[in-house]
């Protein structure tokens, strides 16, 4: 349903005494049905953060006839919000504050904060909450902790892993992967049932084989494992063997059916040798209780061990620090080092991977960014892929005066496989939201909110959605799918 049709339906139903407007969603207090949430830092001398939202249909911050003058999430008082985990299907959001380490849970339906996630350990370098809001997984690099915070069981389980700095969780919330900076290994968390606690003569008591850390140690409920080749399986249903070796793994994205994890090997931009993608089966990593431990699908236990054949790795010479999967196509972005006048600069590249054939396209030049940094990627209307980078003014494009400029936001046409626009430099691109059906995106660039057409990449009028303070992230609260999300 288009945005205009949604608005008409909402008005008609409201007149009939019904407040539903899409998929059973109720009309919120603001009575807006196309909302973009904006994470704003330092909006005033008295606040370190606020969550404002605007009418994305009319691109307007205020209500009808200027009343109210602005909209915001009631009860939110976070410190320096930096990321919005957008879950429109659940009518929820999770906003992380870099100033206080809190993860605030936002009720989209009632436009208010529900409270904060419990059990976190200080500031997180990477954090994720499952869609059912049962578990929060967080990496605290300063303390060397990978924390599993059980929101229902009210348990906080800090698993020791020195150098951990990234977390990746699959869409179903059944697999959590941990990545250590400057390491060639990957780790995964798994929940054990009571019957899976066994004694081994080697290693600490009660630890399954290949476990790095378990909590609690006297009767483990959660363990952190190093990813192993599946040569053997122990009594707890965990595989072990030689450790799987990668090349500076930095993140994982997942296949549409959930059966595979694509590990992004950052390679040269992270101090490694060669950038690539490694394909790892999800089955052995599944941690939810009651699920089979073998490769999926597996309808009866015990499940057979997976093949011990070599892990599939696809070379991606353009770099691999972030990626987005669209059915059988993966879009991979990364930074490629280049020496110019004796100094090393990094150039942004996009590579298209055909997952049915495991083949790659020739990398194309896009916005430059921080090597190994967190970029933003999002699919939008009109066959467009939008990519946001930080510190693009320090890259190859700036150093060489490349045609098209050195802006931090790139629009790529997935139909023609062409970079159609690299925006003028406005500062770091830290957030993107696709307003599907309305042929536009919202972006947070240089601390302000901008709007662009997905038809040709041109800038649209943003004067009525600008904010006071620093806009760091944006999210389309009324998107049809949780995939409309730039932080994953």
pLDDT, tens only, 252-305? 999 888 888 999 999 999 999 999 999 988 876 764 433 333 333 344 444 444
Is it the case that residue 199 has pLDDT exceeding 70? no
Is 141 found in the same domain as 3? Answer: no
Q: What is the mean pLDDT of residues 306-315?
A: 71
Closest to 353 measured CA to CA, from 320, 389, 387, 310: 320
> Residue 337's pLDDT band (boundaries 50, 70, 90)?
very high
Is 139 found in the same domain as 272? Answer: yes
pLDDT for the residue 10: 45
Is 147 found in the same domain as 13? Answer: no
Is 277 found in the same domain as 168? Answer: yes
> 264 near 176, Cβ under 8 Å?
no
Is it the case that residue 206 has pLDDT exceeding 50? yes
Cα(383)–Cα(414) distance, integer angstroms = 5
pLDDT for the residue 259: 83
User: What is the maximum alpha-carbon separation in the chain?
Assistant: 74
- The count of residues in the chain is 488
DSSP H helix total and E strand total for the chain:
2, 38
The domain of 1 spans: 1-33
> 223 near 214, Cβ under 8 Å?
yes
Cα(462)–Cα(41) distance, integer angstroms = 19
The last residue of a domain, from among 315, 330, 360: 315
Q: What angle do CA 281, 324, 133 make, to 5 degrees?
A: 75
Cα(27)–Cα(18) distance, integer angstroms = 9
Cα(40)–Cα(475) distance, integer angstroms = 12
pLDDT for the residue 209: 83
Into how many domains does the chain fold?
2
> Residue 234's pLDDT band (boundaries 50, 70, 90)?
confident
Is it the case that residue 336 has pLDDT exceeding 90? yes
Is 163 found in the same domain as 18? Answer: no
Look at residue 49 and tell me if it is in a domain.
no
Is 138 found in the same domain as 22? Answer: no
Is 126 found in the same domain as 252? Answer: yes
Look at residue 266 and tell me if it is in a domain.
yes
Q: What is the mean pLDDT of residues 392-403?
A: 94
H helix or E strand, kind and range, residue 165: strand 164-169
Look at residue 253 and tell me if it is in a domain.
yes
Look at residue 406 and tell me if it is in a domain.
no
The last residue of a domain, from among 254, 285, 315: 315
Is it the case that residue 448 has pLDDT exceeding 60? yes
CA distance from start to end of the chain: 26
Percent of the chain predicted with pLDDT > 90: 72
Look at residue 449 and tell me if it is in a domain.
no
Is 305 found in the same domain as 157? Answer: yes
Is it the case that residue 450 has pLDDT exceeding 50? yes
pLDDT for the residue 374: 80
Which positions ≥6 away from 309 have C-beta within 8 Å?
none
Look at residue 178 and tell me if it is in a domain.
yes
> 404 near 395, Cβ under 8 Å?
no
Is 304 found in the same domain as 190? Answer: yes
Cα(341)–Cα(35) distance, integer angstroms = 48
pLDDT for the residue 231: 78
Cα(386)–Cα(322) distance, integer angstroms = 13
Cα(311)–Cα(313) distance, integer angstroms = 6
Average confidence score pLDDT of the chain:
88
- Torsion over CA: 216, 221, 223, 229 (sign): positive
Q: What is the mean pLDDT of residues 28-57?
A: 96
> 113 near 106, Cβ under 8 Å?
yes
pTM for this model (two decimals):
0.90
> Residue 488's pLDDT band (boundaries 50, 70, 90)?
low
Look at residue 40 and tell me if it is in a domain.
no
Q: What is the mean pLDDT of residues 349-372?
A: 96
Q: Which of 122-126, 240-244, 473-477 has the lowest mean pLDDT?
A: 240-244
pLDDT for the residue 12: 42
Is it the case that residue 3 has pLDDT exceeding 70? no
Q: Is the peptide bond before 413 cis (omega within 30 degrees of 0)?
A: no
Q: Which of 345-349, 381-385, 401-405 has the lowest mean pLDDT?
A: 401-405
Cα(98)–Cα(293) distance, integer angstroms = 36
Is 144 found in the same domain as 23? Answer: no
Q: What is the mean pLDDT of residues 378-383?
A: 97
Cα(357)–Cα(33) distance, integer angstroms = 41
482: phi > 0 → left, psi -120 to 50 → alpha, else beta; which? Answer: alpha
Is 294 found in the same domain as 166? Answer: yes
Look at residue 211 and tell me if it is in a domain.
yes
């Amino acid at each position: 349903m288009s945005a205009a049709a949604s608005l008409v339906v909402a008005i008609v139903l409201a007149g009939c005494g019904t407040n539903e407007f899409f998929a059973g969603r109720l009309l919120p207090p603001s009575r807006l049905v196309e909302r973009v949430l904006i994470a704003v830092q330092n909006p005033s001398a008295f606040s370190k953060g606020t969550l404002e939202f605007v009418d994305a249909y009319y691109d307007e911050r205020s209500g009808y006839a200027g009343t109210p003058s602005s909209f915001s999430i009631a009860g939110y008082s976070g410190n320096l919000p930096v990321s919005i985990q957008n879950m429109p299907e659940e009518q929820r959001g999770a906003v992380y504050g870099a100033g206080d380490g809190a993860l605030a849970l936002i009720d989209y339906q009632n436009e208010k904060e529900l409270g904060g996630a419990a059990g976190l350990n200080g500031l997180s370098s990477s954090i994720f909450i499952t869609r059912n809001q049962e578990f929060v997984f967080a990496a605290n690099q300063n303390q060397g902790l990978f924390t599993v915070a059980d929101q229902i069981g009210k348990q906080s389980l800090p698993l020791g892993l020195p150098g951990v700095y990234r977390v990746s969780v699959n869409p179903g919330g059944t697999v959590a992967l941990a990545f250590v900076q400057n390491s060639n290994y990957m780790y995964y968390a798994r929940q054990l049932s009571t019957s899976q606690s066994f004694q081994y003569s080697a290693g600490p008591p009660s630890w399954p084989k290949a476990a790095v850390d378990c909590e609690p140690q006297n009767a483990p409920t959660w363990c952190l494992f190093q990813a192993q080749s599946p040569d053997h399986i122990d009594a707890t249903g965990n595989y072990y063997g030689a450790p799987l070796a990668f090349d500076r793994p930095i993140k994982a994205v997942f296949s549409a059916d959930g059966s595979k994890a694509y590990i992004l090997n950052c390679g040269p931009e992270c101090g490694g040798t060669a950038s690539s993608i490694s394909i790892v089966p999800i089955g052995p990593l599944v941690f939810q209780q009651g699920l089979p431990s073998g490769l999926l699908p597996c309808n009866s236990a015990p499940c057979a061990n997976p093949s011990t054949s070599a892990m599939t790795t696809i070379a991606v010479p353009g770099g691999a620090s972030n990626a987005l999967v669209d059915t059988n196509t993966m879009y991979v972005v990364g930074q490629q080092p280049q020496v110019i006048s004796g100094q090393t600069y990094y150039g942004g590249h996009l590579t298209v991977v055909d997952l049915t054939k495991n083949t790659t396209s020739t990398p194309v030049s896009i916005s430059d960014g921080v090597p190994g940094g967190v970029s933003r990627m999002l699919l939008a209307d009109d066959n467009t892929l939008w990519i946001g980078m930080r510190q693009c003014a320090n890259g190859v494009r700036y150093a060489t005066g490349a045609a098209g400029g050195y802006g931090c936001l790139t629009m790529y046409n997935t139909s023609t496989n062409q970079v159609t626009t690299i925006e003028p430099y406005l500062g770091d691109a830290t957030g993107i939201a696709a307003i599907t059906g309305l042929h536009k995106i919202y972006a947070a660039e240089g601390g302000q909110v901008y709007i662009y057409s997905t038809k040709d990449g041109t800038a649209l009028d943003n004067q009525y959605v600008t904010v006071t303070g620093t806009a760091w992230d944006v999210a389309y609260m009324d998107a049809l799918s949780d995939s409309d999300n730039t932080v994953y």
